[in-house]
Amino acid sequence: MILVAGGTGRLGTVVVRRLVDRGLAVRVMTRDPARAAHPAADQVQLVTGDVRDRESLVRATAGVDIVVSAVHGFVGPRGISPATVDRDGNANLVDAARAAGADFVLMSTVGASSDSPIELFRMKHAAEHYAAASGVSTTVVRATAFLELWIELLEQTATRSGRPLVFGRGENAINFVSVVDVAALVERVVTAPMTRGEILEIGGPDDLTFNELARAVQAAAGRTSPPRHVAPATLRLMAATIGRMKPDLGRQARAALVMDHLDLTFDATPIHDIYQDLPFTSLADLLDQSRV
Ligand SMILES: NC(=O)c1ccc[n+]([C@@H]2O[C@H](COP(=O)([O-])OP(=O)(O)OC[C@H]3O[C@@H](n4cnc5c(N)ncnc54)[C@H](OP(=O)(O)O)[C@@H]3O)[C@@H](O)[C@H]2O)c1
């Protein structure tokens, strides 16, 4: 039995689909099964659990061979944060996996490190470290930014004005990867015990600025107007004002500032040299598919 924590999310849903299609037994953990209108709902077990609640994890991991963590607490709200979910929640999951005698597959981020300027990346690093020290057989999959998430955000913010919203100058190159590619690697790793002890990094073929991504989204929608921008000075003000009362908004403003200048490019060829049949989905592929 494979437990997928975060199996209701953007990546987790695709991972669950792939595992179910292989005929594997899957249990999906969610904080609210009523919210989990899962595409594979009739083919999986649903279990209620919260990574912050250790008791719930004992129930969720009963009889499980592999625990996959595809959770994150980046967008809050209050009480849900990278510290409570990505660091402490993942530590709880590792402990539960150890008690159940299960292996662990951790979703992390390319750039995870103890001194990253992005809080989420520091908390992912702490989770990687905890898992490595726990003795639980663990594989870490680090991914770059999810293309589908950012396309969706640009489309959502374009709906009223016809002009998508870019946070910052939008001139910094960032590697984007499709969840389709990441899910294919996670499926591979789940079913490959020989990857335990490894950290695998995956990205996509495209290093793009947000302005380039916004232009491509506009073109695919048949729009020509340029994106709007939230200036870096406004992001700094947001972080220092609203961000004090609403930590999730402060976190997002600070992350946007970092994403506006940190080197977030990535060479994705090494993972594709190892796993040559992994999909390598480009922005153009995704936008073409959405037109079909
Ligand atoms: N998005 C990116 O650009 C990106 C890049 C690199 C790595 N990743 C990593 O990839 C994984 C999947 O990301 P995603 O963007 O697909 O996520 P998502 O769509 O935002 O979904 C988040 C998932 O986390 C679960 N979750 C949140 N708080 C939880 C808690 N306290 N207890 C249990 N479950 C909780 C949610 O489950 P319920 O709401 O059903 O409880 C949901 O399934 C995450 O580990 C993320 O850090 C993401």
Give the residue from 98, 88, 43, 42 showing the smallest Cα distance to 66: 98
For residue 292, pLDDT over 60 is answered with: no
Probe target for ligand 1 pocket from 8, 47, 72, with the most ligand atoms within 8 Å of CB: 72
pLDDT digits (tens, 9 = 90+) for 159-202: 888 999 999 999 999 999 999 999 999 999 999 999 999 999 99
Q: What is the DSSP letter of 88?
A: I
pLDDT > 90 fraction of the chain, expressed in percent and rounded: 88
pLDDT digits (tens, 9 = 90+) for 197-242: 999 999 999 999 999 999 999 999 999 999 999 999 999 999 999 8
The ligand 1 atom nearest the CA atom of 110 = 6
Ligand 1 centroid – CA 71 distance (Å): 3
Ligand 1 centroid – CA 72 distance (Å): 4
- 87-88-89-91 Cα dihedral, nearest 10 degrees: 90
Give the other-Cβ count within 10 Å of 77's Cβ.
Answer: 11
pTM of the model: 0.96
- How far is residue 248's CA from residue 1's CA, in Å, rounded to a whole number? 34
Residue nearest to atom 20 of ligand 1 (CA): 9
How do 103-109 and 145-146 pair as beta strands? unpaired
With bands split at pLDDT 50, 70 and 90, how would you rate the model's confidence at 33?
Answer: confident
- How far is residue 116's CA from residue 35's CA, in Å, rounded to a whole number? 33
Q: What is the pLDDT of residue 41?
A: 75
For residue 291, pLDDT over 70 is answered with: no
For residue 40, pLDDT over 90 is answered with: no
- 191-21-51-57 Cα dihedral, nearest 10 degrees: -80
Q: What is the pLDDT of residue 254?
A: 94
Characterize 197-226 residue by residue with b for buried, 16 or more Cβ atoms within 10 angstroms of its Cβ, and e for exposed: eeebbbbbbbbbbbbbbbbbbbebbeeeee
For residue 124, pLDDT over 70 is answered with: yes
Residue nearest to atom 18 of ligand 1 (CA): 9
For residue 258, pLDDT over 90 is answered with: yes
Q: What is the DSSP letter of 225?
A: P
Q: Which residues are bridge partners to 230 per DSSP?
A: 167
- How far is residue 89's CA from residue 104's CA, in Å, rounded to a whole number? 13
Give the residue from 231, 253, 210 showing the smallest Cα distance to 76: 253
Q: What is the pLDDT of residue 14?
A: 96
- How far is residue 253's CA from residue 24's CA, in Å, rounded to a whole number? 40
Q: What is the DSSP letter of 75?
A: T
Give the other-Cβ count within 10 Å of 244's Cβ.
Answer: 10
Ligand 1 centroid – CA 223 distance (Å): 31
Q: Are 208 and 202 in contact (CB under 8 A)?
A: no
How do 66-69 and 2-5 pair as beta strands? parallel
Q: What is the pLDDT of residue 230?
A: 95
Amino acid residing at 44: V
For residue 37, pLDDT over 90 is answered with: no
**Pocket (CB within 6 angstroms of ligand 1):** 5-6, 8-12, 30-31, 35-36, 50-52, 70-73, 80, 85, 89, 107, 109, 143, 145-146, 149
Ligand 1 centroid – CA 2 distance (Å): 17
Q: What is the pLDDT of residue 76?
A: 78
